């Protein structure tokens, strides 16, 4: 939402993340934006106790490949949560719709089929300016919000 600061959260309401292992699968497409999302998530995890050696980063070519990357990460890395980080900007063709639908459905499927939560950190904006505003710009950083979600879901996984 345009009025929401994506970086705002109450640190005191989160458990310490020291005992958790996190993975982040990051799309190389629109890398200025995805790297900013990654940095926001990384700093938030560390600020809440996650140890750097317990945070894994894999890169994939584009947002569509996030699904396979997240699946392999879940299957092979013994993690408490995975954050799938990508960015799709609307163009002149329906490609945007197909990629956005495929990625959202694929990540949803992983959450149903796997035992490790996969957090959807994919910006799907009409313009590059909107994506910049949500990856560290005027609307904060969606990566921060997704790291908070990853911590909360890691706790839930332990139940």
Q: Looking at the annotation, which residues are catalytic?
A: 95
Tokens representing 74 are: 């879940």
Query: Mind giving me the DSSP string for 3-71?
Result: TS-TT---GGGSPP-TT--EEEEEESTTHHHHHHHHHHHHHHHHHTT--GGGEEEEEESSSTTHHHHHH
């Amino acid at each position: 939402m345009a009025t929401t600061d994506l970086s705002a959260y109450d640190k005191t309401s989160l458990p310490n993340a020291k005992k958790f292992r996190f993975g982040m699968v990051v799309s190389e497409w629109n890398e200025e934006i995805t790297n900013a999302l990654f940095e926001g998530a990384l700093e938030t995890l560390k600020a809440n106790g996650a140890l750097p050696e317990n945070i894994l980063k894999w890169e994939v070519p584009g947002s569509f490949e996030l699904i396979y990357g997240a699946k392999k990460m879940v299957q092979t890395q013994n993690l408490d949560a995975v954050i799938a980080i990508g960015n799709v900007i609307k163009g002149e063709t329906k490609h945007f719709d197909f990629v956005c639908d495929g990625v959202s459905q694929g990540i949803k499927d992983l959450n149903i089929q796997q035992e490790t939560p996969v957090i959807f950190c994919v910006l799907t904006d009409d313009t590059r300016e909107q994506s910049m505003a949500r990856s560290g710009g005027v609307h904060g950083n969606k990566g921060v919000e997704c790291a908070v979600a990853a911590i909360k879901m890691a706790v839930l996984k332990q139940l």
